Structure 1
Amino acid sequence: MARITVLDDGIELDGPTLVEGFPGVGLVGKIATDHLIEAHEMTHYANVHCDGIPRVAVYQDSDPSLTTPVRLYVDPEADLVALRSDIPVAPDAATEVAGCLDGWFDETDTFPVFLSGLGREKDEEPPALYGIATGDGDDALTGAEIGAPPESGLVSGPTGAMLAESLERDRDAVGLVVESDPQFPDPEAARILIQDGIDPIAGTETPTDGLVEQATEIRNAKQSFAKRMQEATEESSQAEPLKMFQ
C-alpha cells in the first residue's frame, strides 16, 4: 500500500520546499541531497512506502535499525525537506512512485524542486545550470536568476515522471538541470545545483566547500552506486536533448 509514514508528529511543515534526490546522471541529485541533509543536520522525518519502490530494507553504518530505501528528511526552521533515495527506481515503476508522492505534496502544500543531470563531457568551464517549471514555478526561477535551457530536451526516470505529474496537475514546481559527467559521480555539478539553484530558491545557505575539497572521496564512495546505474541507465533520472529522438 502506498503511504508516507511520518516518524515525528511533533514536526510541523508549512508549505515546505522539497528537494528531490533520486539517483541519475553524475548522481548529482543524490550527492546534492545527501550533502543538504548533512550540512543542515536534517532530521529523518518519514519513510516512503510506494508501489514501485523495491521491497528492500536498508541499514546504516553503526546503526542496527532498518529503514526504507527512500526517506524524507526535514529542517523545520528552514521549511526544507529532502528526499533521499538509496536505490534507483525501475522505469516501469516511475509513474507509480510519482503518483504516491504526489498525494503527499498535496497534503503538505509542498513546493518541489526536482534535480536532473544532463550528460556533458567535462572541460574547463563550470557546469551550466538551467531551469524548467510547471504552474507558476517559473516565478521562482526568475527570482533565483536561473536561465532557461538553450536547447529542447526531456527528463526521464522518476524525476521525469514527477515533473509530468506536476504538469498534469498544474502544480507549482521547478526542475533544475545541470551539466554533469555522464560516466562518474560529479560533486562539482552537485555544488552548482546547491549554490546556484537550491539555495536561491529555498532561501537557504548551505556550505559547499566540502563538496569540492572531498571530491575524490565522494567519487570513490559513490563509485559502486554509479556502476550499478550505468548497468541500468534506463532507470536513471536524466535530462536528454530532444533532438536525439527526432
Structure 2
Amino acid sequence: MAELRLHGPEITLESPWLIEGFPGVGLVGKIATDHLIEHLEMRYYASVHCEGLPMVGVYRGDDRTVRPPVRLYVSEAHDLLALQCDTPVAANAVETVAACLTSWIVDQNATPIYLSGLPTERDESRPELYGIATGEAGEILTTHDVPLPPEDGLVTGPTGALLNRAAQAGHDSIGLVIQCDPQFPDPEAASVLIDDAIAPLTDLEVDVQDLLERAEEIRDQRERLAQQMQQVGQDESSQAKPLRMYQ
C-alpha cells in the first residue's frame, strides 16, 4: 500500500482528475505536470512513500527546503491532483510503485491521466498526439476528439505499469502519447500535450505561452535528468514504442 504523509490539511474532492508526471523520454509528462502545478498554484499536499522509490532528498535553487522525490499537489478549486517526480524509478520497483499508487488513486475516486512521449525525430511541424484508455474512459477521448493511435504500440516504465494495473482491474484511466525529441527535454511537445488534450479533457484554462518562451531555459534545467533517463533501461523510462519493434 502507498503511504502518504500529509503536509497540510486534508482535502475534499469529488471526482478529481490526477495528472501523472513520472520522468520519461523528452520529459514531456514531467514538464507538463510541473507547469500545471506552477500555473495553477497547486498546493503541496503529500509526499508519496512506496517500496522501491529512491530515498533521496530534493531541493531547489535559492530554496533550503528539502522534500522527498515523489509528491502530490492539489487544487481543490479545480478538483485536480498532480503527481510530481524528480528522479527515475528503478526497474525492480516499477511494479510495486504502480500497485501502491493505483490503490490510492482508486480510493480517491480519481481518474488518472498518464503521460508518455513517443521518441520521434522532430521537424518544425506540430508533434502528433493520440489517446489510449482503460475501463470506460475511451468514451471521454472520443467526446473530445482526441485521435486514435495510428499503429500498435506499448508504454514502458512506471507509466506503462500504471496503465497495466488499470487495464487488469478495469479501472478508468487515460493515456496521452505525444511525439517528442528522443534525446533532449521537449517543452514544445509538453505544451501541445497540455493545450490539445489535458486542458480540454479537464476543462482547465492553462496558458502554455510561458513554456514556449522559456523553452531553452527549461531544456537547460532538465538536461541532466534527461541524460539520466537515457542511461536507464526501458522498464525505468516511461515512453511509448511501436509494437513492431518487438515482433
Give the TM-score of the pair, scaled to structure 1: 0.97
Q: After superposition, where does 1:99-138 map in structure 2 within 5 Å?
A: 99-138=99-138
Alpha-carbon distance between aligned partners in 1 of 2:144 and 2:233, rounded to the nearest angstrom: 31
Q: After superposition, where does 1:158-237 map in structure 2 within 5 Å?
A: 158-234=158-234, 235-237=236-238
Number of aligned residue pairs: give it: 246
Alpha-carbon distance between aligned partners in 2 of 1:187 and 1:72, rounded to the nearest angstrom: 22
**Which amino acid is 1:236 matched to?**
S
The alpha-carbon distance between structure 1 residues 90 and 10, as it changes in their structure 2 partners (threshold 3 A), is closer
Indicate the larger mover: 153-162 or 12-21: 12-21
Over residues 72-109 of structure 1, what are the superposed CA-to-partner deviations in whole Å (9 max), with x where a residue is unaligned?
A: 01111101111000001112211100011111112110
RMSD, aligned CA = 1.2
Q: Give the CA deviation at 1:64.
A: 2.8
Contact 1:94–1:158, Cα closer than 8 Å, also in 2:
yes
Aligned to 1:50: 50
Aligned to 1:238: 239
Q: After superposition, where does 1:16-165 map in structure 2 within 5 Å?
A: 16-165=16-165
Q: Percent identity?
A: 51
Alpha-carbon distance between aligned partners in 2 of 1:212 and 1:58, rounded to the nearest angstrom: 26
Structure 1: 5+ residue stretches without partners: none
Indicate the larger mover: 42-51 or 60-69: 60-69
Greater strand fraction, Structure 1 or Structure 2: 1
Secondary structure of the residue aligned to 1:58 is coil
Contact 1:118–1:238, Cα closer than 8 Å, also in 2:
yes
Alpha-carbon distance between aligned partners in 2 of 1:106 and 1:6, rounded to the nearest angstrom: 18
List structure 1 runs of 4+ shifted beyond 3 angstroms: none
Secondary structure of the residue aligned to 1:60 is coil
Alpha-carbon distance between aligned partners in 2 of 1:185 and 1:194, rounded to the nearest angstrom: 16
Alpha-carbon distance between aligned partners in 2 of 1:206 and 1:242, rounded to the nearest angstrom: 33
Contact 1:143–1:201, Cα closer than 8 Å, also in 2:
no
**Which amino acid is 1:199 matched to?**
A
Alpha-carbon distance between aligned partners in 1 of 2:123 and 2:29, rounded to the nearest angstrom: 21
Structure 2: 5+ residue stretches without partners: none
Q: Give the CA deviation at 1:67.
A: 1.6
Contact 2:28–2:190, Cα closer than 8 Å, also in 1:
yes
Q: Give the CA deviation at 1:233.
A: 4.2
Indicate the larger mover: 120-129 or 226-235: 226-235
Over residues 113-172 of structure 1, what are the superposed CA-to-partner deviations in whole Å (9 max), with x where a residue is unaligned?
A: 000000000112100000000001111111221011000000000000000000011001
